[in-house]
Amino acid sequence: MKKISNWFCAGRSARYGSDVAGIVRCMLCALAAIAAAMVHRWLGYEFPHQGLRALEAGVWSALPSTLEHALAAFGVLSLLVLPVCWTRSTARCRMFACFIGGAAYFALTTMGWDYQQYRATHEAAQLAQMAGDVAGLLCAVYWLTRAQAVRLRHRFA
């Protein structure tokens, strides 16, 4: 019988963040996503009639908050998974960490706060925010677990 550590840590390495410098770059990318969500929200409160906000609201009224939720979910899940897996960056190990972190994020934010707000207001924007959370989580899972291409080496004797 295989050890549990072998089950989750075997296989090809993830494409991004397989060494310490790569992990730091990935964490900076996740922090940039969270910072972009925060700046986007601040601009919405400070300048509600700004050109970009007006364009977003013209396309769909729930688009600004959906984008913010997607960026925040992407950044938070990435910041949860990268330090946990650190240099054991196999696709299976990260998928397991993404499953646990994503389930916790989904339970707290999407089914916790956003769903309670939806039950109180019955606004479609709350459902769009929940969809943004799911989209951000799925993007983070894809980004973190994408495996490197295996290069085949042929030996000629």
Task: Give the model confidence (pLDDT) of 123-153 as tens digits.
Answer: 888 899 999 999 999 999 999 998 776 655 6
pLDDT (average), residues 91-100: 91
The yes-or-no verdict on residue 92 having pLDDT over 60 is yes
Q: Which of 70, 60, 64 is nearest to 44 (CA)?
A: 64
More confident of the two residues 11 and 80:
80
Could you give the CA distance from residue 84 to residue 111 in angstroms, rounded to a whole number?
A: 24
- Reported as a pLDDT band with limits 50, 70 and 90, residue 89 is confident
Phi, psi of 18 (to 5 degrees): -90, -10
Could you give the CA distance from residue 71 to residue 67 in angstroms, rounded to a whole number?
A: 6
More confident of the two residues 7 and 91:
91
What does the pLDDT read at residue 100? 95
C-alpha dist (Å) from residue 25 to 9, 16, 51, 114, 156: 22, 9, 32, 31, 38
pTM of the model: 0.83
Could you give the CA distance from residue 114 to residue 156 in angstroms, rounded to a whole number?
A: 60
Cβ-contact 129, 137 below 8 angstroms:
no
- Looking up tokens 């609201």 gives 57
Could you give the CA distance from residue 97 to residue 108 in angstroms, rounded to a whole number?
A: 17
For residue range 50-83, list pLDDT tens digits in order. Answer: 777 777 766 677 888 899 999 999 999 999 999 9
Cβ-contact 14, 89 below 8 angstroms:
yes
